[in-house]
Amino acid sequence: MVVYLVGAGPGDPDLITLKAVKVLKNADVVIYDRLANPEILEYAEKAKLIYVGKKAGEHYKTQDEINQILIDQGKKHEEVVRLKGGDPFVFGRGGEEMLALHQEGIPVEMVPGVTSAIGAPTSVGLPLTHRGVATSLTIVTGHEDPTKKERQVKWDFKADTLVILMGVGRLEENVKEIMKNRDPKTPVCVIENGTLADQRVITGTLEDVSKKDIKSPALIIVGHVVDIFKEIKPMKTQEVLNHERL
C-alpha cells in the first residue's frame, strides 16, 4: 500500500523523469488532472485511469473529493499514482494530498518533477539566474484563492527574477502592483504552452505586457534575464521560431 505523488513535468512528455515512468508502469491506478500532455498516461500499461481534473474557473472535483478518492484507492490497491503537472509541491496542492493520506495512515512517496516555472524558460534559452544579472528568483502564483479576505501576495518581492505561474487572469492588476517596486521598462517574457508544440514566446516590458493577447496557460518572467534571451536569437530550437515581439 503506497500512493506516489508524481510530477509529470512541464508538458513535453520527454521531460518526465525515469522514476515517474517506473512508478507509472507498476501502477494499479493512476489519478490524474488535465495534464499538459496525456501521452504520459501511456506508460501506465496496466492501470485503471481516474480523471479528477479541473475545468477552467470551476472545480471539476473539489480538493476534498480528490483527497477522498486518493484515500479510497490507496486503501484498495498496492500501488497508486497521483500524477500532477510540473512538480507536485510547486503550486500543485500536493502538500494537502500528502497530509490527507498521512492522516489515514497511507504511506506516501514523493516523485519530484521539472516545474514549468523553470523547465519552460530553460527550454527556450532564458536563464532565470545569470552571473551579474540575477542571483535570486522568486516563483509565485498569480491566481490567489479568491475566497480569501485579504490578499496574501504583496508583489514587493526583492528577488532579481520573478516567475509568475497562472498569471494570465490577473495580469493587469498584478503588473500594476509589481510596477510599484520595479521600473515599468523592466523586460518581461511570456511563455504560452511551455515546452509543447504550440508554444508561443512573447517579449515586452512591464508597462506594455498586459495589452497583449495572451492565453492561459502561460508563464510570466519579469527581470533583466529576459534581455539575455533576446540576445541569443536566432537559436536552433523550435521554441524560438515561435517567438514574436510585442
Residue whose CB is less far from its own copies, 9 or 204: 9
Residue position matching grid coordinates 518581461 = 188
Residue whose CB is less far from its own copies, 107 or 184: 107
Residue whose CB is less far from its own copies, 50 or 110: 110
235 catalytically annotated: no
Query: Using CA atoms, how far apart are residues 121 and 123, in angstroms rounded to an integer?
Result: 5
Residue whose CB is less far from its own copies, 23 or 29: 23
Rounded to the nearest 5°, which phi and psi values hold at 101? -65, -40
179 catalytically annotated: no
Residue whose CB is less far from its own copies, 50 or 159: 159
Cα distances (angstroms) measured from residue 2 to each of 44, 77, 88, 108 = 16, 8, 16, 6
* Beta pairing, strands 29-32 & 48-51: parallel
Rounded to the nearest 5°, which phi and psi values hold at 29? -140, 140
Residue position matching grid coordinates 523547465 = 119
Is 74 near its own copies (CB under 8 A)?
A: no
Is 141 near its own copies (CB under 8 A)?
A: yes
Is 10 near its own copies (CB under 8 A)?
A: yes
User: Contacting its own copies (CB under 8 A), which of 38, 53, 107, 184?
Assistant: 107
Q: Is the peptide bond before 10 cis (omega within 30 degrees of 0)?
A: no
Catalytic residue among 33, 84, 87, 160: 33
Is 128 near its own copies (CB under 8 A)?
A: yes
Is 42 near its own copies (CB under 8 A)?
A: no
Catalytic residue among 166, 176, 179, 230: 166
Is 108 near its own copies (CB under 8 A)?
A: yes
Is 69 near its own copies (CB under 8 A)?
A: no
Is 156 near its own copies (CB under 8 A)?
A: yes
Q: String of b and e for 164-184 (b: at least 16 CB within 10 Å)?
A: bbbbbebbeebbeebbeebee
Catalytic residue among 19, 25, 28, 54: 54
Stretch that binds its own copies, among 26-34, 74-82, 144-152, 200-208 (CB under 8 A): 144-152
Q: Minimal distance in Å, beta carbon 221 to its own copies? A: 11
Is 105 near its own copies (CB under 8 A)?
A: no
Cα distances (angstroms) measured from residue 77 to each of 2, 48, 80, 168, 171 = 8, 11, 7, 39, 43
Is 91 near its own copies (CB under 8 A)?
A: yes
Is 235 near its own copies (CB under 8 A)?
A: yes
CA dihedral 24, 30, 31, 34 (to 10 degrees): 60
